[in-house]
Amino acid sequence: MTRRLTAAFLVAIAAVVVATAARAADPKEIPITIENNRFSPEEIKVKAGEPFVLVVTNKDKAPEEFESKDLRIEKVVPAGKTMKIRVRALKPGTYPFVGEYHEKTAKGRIIAE
Amino acid sequence: MGATFVVTLREAFEAALLLGIVYSYLERVGARAQYHWVTLGGVLGLLASVLAGLAVTFLSGPLLDLGPDLVAAAVMFFAVALLTWHGWWMRQHARAVKGDVQRRIDEARATQRLWIVALVAFTGVFREGAETVLFLWGLMSQTTISSWGGVTGGVLGVVVAAVLGWAIFRGGRQLSLPRFFAATSVLLVVVAAGLFSTGIGKLIGLGFIPAGDPLWDSSGLLDDHSVVGGFLSGLTGYRARPTAPEVIGYVVYLVGAGLLLFTPRTAAPATDAARPSAGALS
């Protein structure tokens, strides 16, 4: 039983890794900074239909979680670190995001056109 | 303080719920002596969470850009398999304990599969554990006086989640045995369906599964950014703007698990032979 579960687990991981490797090469990178529990810039414009990468730098002394319910993204960015977040190709529209640990101030939106 | 309270309560509640269920499950099947399996799983889950938090904080490189997301997705699907299995196992027990053999579960058989209980506890704690650890850590590292309210709120959130888990444990002991099995099975299936659909959502976010347009928008009714919506989204996988793959995954899991766990089993061949064949008429 244990073996079967472990096998299923490994297969799941392998499938995701293979899928990652098979994906197309480097999409455009868009920098965004977290400072004083705020995003800068708070509004990001991207081309609709093209995947891109958010390069999130956290200049604060506390970790922050970049979260967008619409984009299905949740990613912790530790203090002083930079994380790359892949974002799928978007249909035209506005996609809000927040810093989950400081939701009152850390807010922004991605506008795909 | 209120904001941090809500965050940690939300993150820790699922773990507390699962721990409460597996502890009371062991109690109900007369395997109290095996509590330490759940405790072990929970403690290991906590350790793994701290390690994951440390890894994210102190390591760097391309592995960390995608790694945590892949681990998170894998843990979700693993947890779905585990909860389904646990539900199926409970069902076996529910049938075994009907009648006068209550509390006289075959201890050996129970012990044999107790690692499932330990794993449920482990994944339950580990799933949101790293995030909670990082969140609390972040709060504590901001050592201004104004932040102490935040720390208090964060710690209180975890404490209240634990108390709720305890309440579920106590409540589970009050229910009659069939009710207990039925209620926890339904709860586990809903949690697992939510996890399954959230896992699909994660893969959509990473671009592995095409998203398409949201099927509907119920954010006017219940926004998943709100406190209640956030809880529902954590526990049952609620999304205000769900996509087709998520909805299909949710429904397929619910139906599949429902068939597996809730349909009256057509009796085993041995008893079939002993009974007059009802099937022959249809």
pLDDT, one tens digit per residue, over B143-174 is: 555 567 788 888 999 999 999 999 988 988 88
Average pLDDT value for chain A: 85
All residue ranges of chain B with pLDDT < 50 are: 99-104, 107-108, 267-282
Tell me the per-residue pLDDT of A68-80, one tens digit each, with 9 for 90 and over: 988 999 888 988 8
Interface probe for A, chosen from B1, B208, B218, B238 (most Cβ of A below 10 Å), is: B208
pLDDT at A46 over 90: yes
Distance in Å, alpha carbon of A48 to nearest chain B alpha carbon: 13
Of B269, B262, B220, B263, nearest in space to B241 by CA: B220
Tell me the per-residue pLDDT of B93-122, one tens digit each, with 9 for 90 and over: 766 655 444 444 554 455 566 778 888 899
pLDDT attached to residue B10: 87
User: Above pLDDT 70, what percent of chain A?
Assistant: 87
Strands A52-58 and A28-35: parallel
CB contacts of A69 in chain B (<8 Å) are 224-225, 233, 239-241
Contact (CB<8Å) A9/B201: no
- Do B25 and B90 contact (CB within 8 A), yes or no? yes
- Do B49 and B132 contact (CB within 8 A), yes or no? yes
Handedness of CA B99, B103, B109, B110 (dihedral sign): positive
pLDDT attached to residue A113: 93
pLDDT attached to residue B265: 63
B228, with CB counted inside 10 A (0-12, 13-18, 19+), is exposed
| B142 in contact with chain A, both atoms CB, cutoff 8 A | yes
Distance CA B26, CA B21 (A): 9
pLDDT attached to residue A19: 63
| B262 in contact with chain A, both atoms CB, cutoff 8 A | no
CATH fold of A26-112 reads Immunoglobulin-like (2.60.40)
CB contacts of B41 in chain A (<8 Å) are none
| B84 in contact with chain A, both atoms CB, cutoff 8 A | no
pLDDT attached to residue B176: 86
pLDDT attached to residue B97: 57
CA B280 to chain centre: 42
Of B26, B185, B24, nearest in space to B111 by CA: B26
B89, with CB counted inside 10 A (0-12, 13-18, 19+), is middle
Q: Can you list the alpha helix ranges (DSSP code H) found in chain B?
A: 2-28, 35-58, 62-96, 107-112, 114-141, 147-174, 177-205, 227-236, 244-262, 269-274
Domain locations along chain A: 26-112
Strands A73-77 and A43-46: unpaired
pLDDT at A54 over 90: yes
CB contacts of B113 in chain A (<8 Å) are 1
Contacts of B100 (CB under 8 A, 6+ apart): none
B7: nearest CB among A62, A85, A100: A100
Interface probe for B, chosen from A2, A61, A70, A82 (most Cβ of B below 10 Å), is: A70
CB contacts of A9 in chain B (<8 Å) are 74, 78
Distance in Å, alpha carbon of B124 to nearest chain A alpha carbon: 16
CB contacts of A54 in chain B (<8 Å) are none
Band of residue A111 on the pLDDT scale cut at 50, 70, 90 = very high
Of B57, B60, B86, nearest in space to B195 by CA: B86
Half-sphere exposure of B180 (CA within 13 A, CB side): 26
Interface probe for B, chosen from A20, A55, A74, A76 (most Cβ of B below 10 Å), is: A76
Over residues A32-48, the mean pLDDT reads 93
pLDDT attached to residue A18: 64
| B79 in contact with chain A, both atoms CB, cutoff 8 A | no
Contact (CB<8Å) A72/B204: yes
A8: nearest CB among B68, B81, B240: B81
| B3 in contact with chain A, both atoms CB, cutoff 8 A | yes
The three-point CA angle A74-B158-B232 to 5° equals 50
For tokens 């006289």, name the residue.
B104
CB contacts of B225 in chain A (<8 Å) are 69, 98
Q: What is the pTM of this model?
A: 0.82
